[in-house]
Amino acid sequence: MLHLAPGRLEFHEPPSAIMSQIIDISQLLRTGMPVWPGDTEFQPSWMARIEDGGLCNVGSVLMSLHTGTHVDAPLHFQKNGASIADADLSVYIGEARVINALNVKSIEASHIQPFTAGLPPRVLFRTRSLPAERFDPGFSYITPDAARLLVRSGVKLAGIDTPSVDSAHSEAMETHKILGDAGIAILENLNLAGAPPGVYELIALPLKFAGMDGSPVRAVLRTMDAEARHGLP
């Protein structure tokens, strides 16, 4: 907030901004990190290095768009779905609830039901204490019944701290399709280890890849008091 005083300008942060905390809920992109079987692994390289006589450092990365913390575009499971470049960015910014589902293998509608009254437009499921060091096909997932409840509850984005909202053994990928057909954005491979259950502001913007089916994101949560939450989308 800007205050005018004789001979000077003063800027004062509103109380909600001073008290808020940013929690990084993104996985570290690194060599050897787990990826979905068959996907391109994370491969960084240098095109120029100062230590080799270059004027600057220039890096390059080869990887799947579904590496680490990422969002799925409708095109991921719809033949003629929208690409990530056409995503409604407002979906990826706003009020979100982190629901604790630690060590829950399959997230059922019963795990969501207690929160449906006043559920924010964005829901994130915390199922593990730390990100996995290797790909484990036994990861937690959202069941189709739970996905239908999210649809009925008016949710706009569903996120989880595992590689997929569907089971690794699913052949129909029904949860992806239920959410996608309802226009619900999907955010996967979060790192919610430092985010206790509660309500936050989520910011997880995808990159503008033309014609592509997803994008890595730098996802963060911002803590808020009740006054700061008022009016958030």
Strands 198-203 and 185-188: unpaired
> CA-to-CA distance for 26 and 158, rounded, in angstroms?
15
Phi and psi angles of residue 125, each rounded to the nearest 5 degrees, phi first: -105, 125
**8 A C-beta contact, residue 207 and residue 65:** no
As given in the structure block, the two tokens for residue 206 are 């995808």
**8 A C-beta contact, residue 68 and residue 216:** yes
Q: Which of 66, 70, 76, 176 does the annotation list as catalytic?
A: 76
Whether 12 is catalytic: no
Three-state secondary structure call for residue 1: coil
**8 A C-beta contact, residue 219 and residue 187:** yes
> CA-to-CA distance for 119 and 107, rounded, in angstroms?
16
**Active-site residue list:** 76
